[in-house]
A and B are shown apart, each in its own frame.
Chain A
């Protein structure tokens, strides 16, 4: 059991075996961004805004509240890992078509929260979408186009 100092965390990052390094209590968000994956954003740094959302073993987490040590052995999906090859995810396609993104800062977190919702709910209602995205703040859109994007993405699956 190693004490403090630099921890080497082995994990599966967007499908590839990877090593993240840092203090065990460092934020997963910072480790990801230092590794070049800057899609996850820091909005509030306190779990209120959802802009840093990633999937940890398939469940949505705020990477600003996840210590690096808790990523050991985990499978992590960031916004960079949502599209496959040259294909955007349905959620990304729908955000483009329905105007779900404006300035873009909240978009990675919104997409990750929507991807998680669709992974566990095949036919979400608008209420399901609102609940799933309740932890994600957007200061541009007024949310309606985001909700419409997610509902449309669900229909296309």
Chain B
């Protein structure tokens, strides 16, 4: 049974406006989305007491919408891109044809997040706000250069997702502010949609993504979560990457990891070690050294620092090897 509930309030405002006003009026109140994290913490007896504000009657926080040059009021013009409501569930992410086509790693990560029942209720915004360094989808948001639309009674603020997590469970989120929508900018700048001919949907291993293009201009993406077992596990290490290689030279790359630092991290030094370099064994070794220098894994109940470092390096090698020999993933 769960602990004494009289220390808690859960209110269900009838609209986003009402929810934001309630959060403004009660600065210590916290938003409540699908509940798949907060209810676990509640049952463990660790949920901070106080007021929780359900967002379930906020249609503005639903849906996956195309951004066509600023079609949504309040958005700056982006060209194409996608806006994902914070209450979008992992099931909805998996079912989006648009996300599968343009941002394929999102669906791969969503499938790795809990079982079906959790995917049906767990939301992308809740997953970000839960701020677990072991979260499965945030590394993907980092490689896609996501931005967050933060909403409060006083307006909308937009911030890059990279930098949003300032430390363990410490976010750039003011009292009364919620994560409203997740914005994925167009990938046409360096990864046109045509680069994603292969979908990762049929992939049975945690490997995901795909490769396309000839040797002159290869683009690919990769995702792998390593846990105790295939289903329902919390990650020991999670790795997401995108890369563009032209005639063997890395034109651009994005790499992000989970469970190797107090927050999910973008591996900027590793990216720097790769960018502009011939993708050969020397470059790969240098990139691995850079990666090991910028992650800070720990020993905990799920794994050890040593194992996590070893696996992070192996995942980087697997990612880069698949870039060297494009084709269907094993």
Chain A interface (Cβ < 8 Å from any Cβ of B): 1-4, 23-27, 30, 45-48, 50, 53, 59-62, 64-67, 69-70, 72, 113, 116-117, 127, 131-132, 134-136
Contacts and interface: CB of A to CB of B under 8 A. Distances in A.
Interface in B30-68: 32, 35-36, 39-40, 42-44, 52, 54, 56
Contact of A47 (B5, B40, B56): B40
B326 interface: no
B2 A27 contact: yes
Nearest to A66: B35
A23 to B, nearest CB: 4
A45 B11 contact: no
B120 interface: yes
B9 A47 contact: no
A116 B117 CA distance: 10
Given A113-B117, A134-B232, A135-B118, A46 B10 contact: no
A54 to B, nearest CB: 9
B292 to A, nearest CB: 32
Counting from the closest, the 7 A-B pairs by CB-CB distance are A135-B115, A134-B231, A4-B9, A24-B10, A65-B39, A23-B5, A25-B10
B94 to A, nearest CB: 10
B115 A136 contact: yes
27 contacts: A1-B22, A4-B10, A23-B6, A24-B9, A24-B12, A25-B5, A25-B8, A26-B2, A26-B5, A45-B43, A46-B40, A47-B40, A48-B232, A53-B117, A60-B120, A62-B121, A67-B35, A67-B39, A69-B10, A69-B12, A70-B54, A113-B116, A116-B116, A131-B116, A134-B116, A135-B231, A136-B115
A122 to B, nearest CB: 16
Contacts of B204: 127
A136 B117 CA distance: 9
Contact of A61 (B1, B22, B54, B117): B117
**Majority SS at the chain B contact face:** mixed
B14 interface: yes
Contact of A64 (B18, B22, B39): B39
A79 B255 CA distance: 45
Given A70-B54, A127-B204, A135 B10 contact: no
